[in-house]
Structures are given as C-alpha cells and as structure tokens.
Structure 1
Amino acid sequence: MTDTTMRPLGLRERKKLKAMRHIQEVALDLFDRDGYAHVTIERIAAEAEVSPSSIYRYFGTKEMVVLWDEYDPIMLKAFDDRLAAKDPIAALREVLTDVVTTAMFEQDERIMRRRMYYAMEEPSIRAAMSRQGDDMALDLRRTIAKHTGRDPDGLELRVVTAALISAFMEALAYWHETGFRDSLKEIVDGALDVIERGLRVE
C-alpha cells in the first residue's frame, strides 16, 4: 500500500474506526444467532455497549452496519491518485488488486464473507447496496472528470462508471454464489477483462 492510500490516522479517527469495527462484528454475531430481521439497532447497541444514537451517527441505517467498509474512501483516494497516469480500467484494476485483495484480505476476509452473505441474501441490504453502487458511480464519474476534463454528467462517463461498478458488483455476487471458491482478485480481474475487451462474448 502507498502512503497516499494508508495515511496515519489520528487518535480520534482510530477510536471511531475501532468502535465501528466492534459494532459491526457484534451486529453480525447477533444476525447469525437470531436472524437479521429479528435484531434491532437497540439490541445491537446494548450488546456493543454503545448508545443507539452512536450507531445511527456512525452508520445511518441497520443496512449500512453490514455494508460499511472502512476501505471505501481509501479505494476512492487511491483511484484518484492512479488516474493521473492510467486509464480508468487500469487504475481501478490496480486499486482493487492493491486494496481489496491485499490489505482487505490479509486482515478481514472472514468479516467480508459474512457481510457478503447478508448483502446477497437480505433484500433490504441488497437494495441498499444497489443505492450505494449508484453513489460510488457518481464519485467515480466526478473523479474521472477531474482528470480528463469530461462532463461528469455526460453519457460517456455515465456508461463507463456504470459498467465498472456493475462489473464489481457482479464479481462480488459470483464470489458469494460460488461459495468463495476462487479468489476475489481472479474474479474481479476476469470481470474487468470483459469490460476492457468491449463487452464482447468470446
């Protein structure tokens, strides 16, 4: 990981990150035991020994307790850094390889697999993930536009970023549906290969 993607965190940021990780793990334990639909924010708060207002402040919704990923802003920053020298597909491939399949999986693969189960199996979380994908696409459009001078609301960047986000989402779905049989790096690389060759079926 580069210095730009893994800058040192201040004490306040470290404490917040530690609290959010703890809450997410507690919530996943409760969901595994009692079922997602039967666990409230209040129960998560009580088990995690925090206030419900803290959970709402950190995550916003119960769905985001599952979907929250500390690496999302790191990936966007890394993508921004790499776009200065690479095309969007090459930059995203490098970021996903660097961040997702190195830093994330050395530390957090077990948590990510548990999160993916709920993201794929719970309709409300899957819908929230779709909305999150729309937000990510907008962030990517703005980042690419900054480096290329293209219109962030133009058709070209809309299509490019929608294709990239959809490819990543489908890679996650495939990874889950195949029982995590193959590495996510291989799956993501394969999905980006399809985009890069122009969506031709070979």
Structure 2
Amino acid sequence: MTEQMTRPLGLRERKKLKAMRHIQRVALDLFDRDGYAHVTIERIAAEAEVSPSSIYRYFGTKEMIVLWDEYDPIMLQAFDDRLAAQDPISALREVLTEVVTAAMFDQDEQFIRRRMTYMMEEPSVRASMGRQADETAVQLRQTIAKHTGRDPDGLELRVVTVALISAFMEAIAYWHDSGYRDSLREIVDGALDVIERGLRVG
C-alpha cells in the first residue's frame, strides 16, 4: 500500500470524506429506487440531510456523485511517485493494482457494481465519464513529461496516455458487460498486457 493511501487525514479532510461517502450512498439508494432521471440534487440533499449547495460544492454535478472516487487523486500522486523509477505501463499497473485492491477493501464490491451500472448505462453519466477520462489523460501526460523531458503536447505522449486511459476504460466496461465474472484486477492487468506487447493479429 502506498504512503498516500495510508497517511492519516486531518479532521477537516475526514469530515469532508465522510460527508461525500454518505451523500454518494444516499444518492445511489435513490437512483436504484426511483430511477436516475427522476432524482434531483434537492432530493438527494433532503435525504442526506445536507444543503443542495453542499452537494454542488463537493461534486459539482449529479453525474459526478456517481463518478466521484476518493482514490482518483491518490492514484495520480502515486503514479507520479512511481515514474521516478519505472516506465509508465509498469507504474500504472502497480498503482491500479493497489488502488483496485484498496477500493475493494474499503467499499464492498456490490457498491462498486452499483456505481458501475450508472457509469455504463446512464448516457449523461457515461458522457461525463468520457470527459473525466480526457482530463485524466492530460494530467497523465503532463506527469510523464515531467519525468521524461518529452513534450506534453507532442504526438508520442498523446498516443501513450490515450492508450493507457482507453485500456482502463475498456477493462471496466468489459468487467460490467461480462457480468463481473472475472476479477477486476485481472482484467485491468490483462488490458495493460495488450498495450505493453502491442496488437498482434494472426
């Protein structure tokens, strides 16, 4: 487990994290019961006993309530740390393995699957996930550029980072589409194997 995943949080950070976890769970309960399209921010706020402005401050949009994952910033920082000594694929493989393991430990797998249903099947959430992936790709290539001296806007890093993000996105889509029958860790690892060796046909 990385230092970022185990370091103690301050009181304010703990309170914010607890509130965001609570709101996300309340929202998913409402989505499951009444349908995503029929649940407003105001209803989520009332059920979670917080103000609508708090939800907007924490998440920004209803879609981000589903997409928010407390491990995202941890993953980016850990990737940055690992790049000092590893190539991008090895660093990302190690970080994702740790993040997926931590997520499965802290959140029951059923909860992750519930979020995944809306990510894959709700058009507005899936569109937001695509935009989030684009933003993550930019962050990754800036991080890789910092460690390699390559141009963050050059073709090489654009292709590498889009390939890595796309591999992860397709891995979680496959996990959902295959009915979660295989381990997410194994699927992510297999997707990165494909990127690492390149596509061979025949």
Q: Aligning the two structures, in what range does the TM-score lie when normalised by the shorter sequence?
A: over 0.9
- Kindly provide the CA deviation profile for residues 61-82 of structure 1, in whole angstroms up to 9, marking residues without a partner as x: 0000000000000000110111
- Kindly provide the CA deviation profile for residues 93-148 of structure 1, in whole angstroms up to 9, marking residues without a partner as x: 00011111x11111212221111000000000000000000001001001101100
Query: In the alignment, what sits opposite 1:143?
Result: 143
- Report if the CA contact (8 A) 1:26-1:48 is conserved: yes
Alignment-mate amino acid for residue 34 of structure 1? D
Instruction: State whether structure 2 residue 103 is matched by structure 1 residue 104.
Output: yes
- Report if the CA contact (8 A) 1:5-1:77 is conserved: no
Query: In the alignment, what sits opposite 1:7?
Result: 7
Query: In the alignment, what sits opposite 1:70?
Result: 70
CA distance in 1, matches of 2:22, 2:95: 26
SS at match of 2:85: coil
Instruction: After TM superposition, give the deviation of residue 4 of structure 1 in Å.
Output: 3.5
Alignment-mate amino acid for residue 104 of structure 2? F
Instruction: After TM superposition, give the deviation of residue 165 of structure 1 in Å.
Output: 0.3
Instruction: After TM superposition, give the deviation of residue 151 of structure 1 in Å.
Output: 0.7
Alignment-mate amino acid for residue 115 of structure 1? R
Alignment-mate amino acid for residue 12 of structure 1? R
Query: In the alignment, what sits opposite 1:37?
Result: 37
- Report if the CA contact (8 A) 1:194-1:200 is conserved: no
Scaled by the length of structure 2, the TM-score of the pair is: 0.97
Query: In the alignment, what sits opposite 1:197?
Result: 197
Alignment-mate amino acid for residue 192 of structure 1? L
Instruction: After TM superposition, give the deviation of residue 7 of structure 1 in Å.
Output: 2.0
Query: In the alignment, what sits opposite 1:119?
Result: 119
Alignment-mate amino acid for residue 112 of structure 1? I
Query: In the alignment, what sits opposite 1:155?
Result: 155
Instruction: After TM superposition, give the deviation of residue 6 of structure 1 in Å.
Output: 3.0
- Kindly provide the CA deviation profile for residues 3-35 of structure 1, in whole angstroms up to 9, marking residues without a partner as x: 244321100000000000000000000000000
Instruction: After TM superposition, give the deviation of residue 198 of structure 1 in Å.
Output: 1.5
Structure 1 stretches lacking a partner, 5+ long: none
Scaled by the length of structure 1, the TM-score of the pair is: 0.97
- Report if the CA contact (8 A) 1:28-1:114 is conserved: yes
Structure 2 stretches lacking a partner, 5+ long: none
SS at match of 2:3: coil
Residue correspondence of structure 1 range 128-139 to structure 2 within 5 A: 128-139=128-139
Alignment-mate amino acid for residue 110 of structure 2? R
Q: Over the residues paired in the alignment, what is the CA RMSD in angstroms? A: 0.9
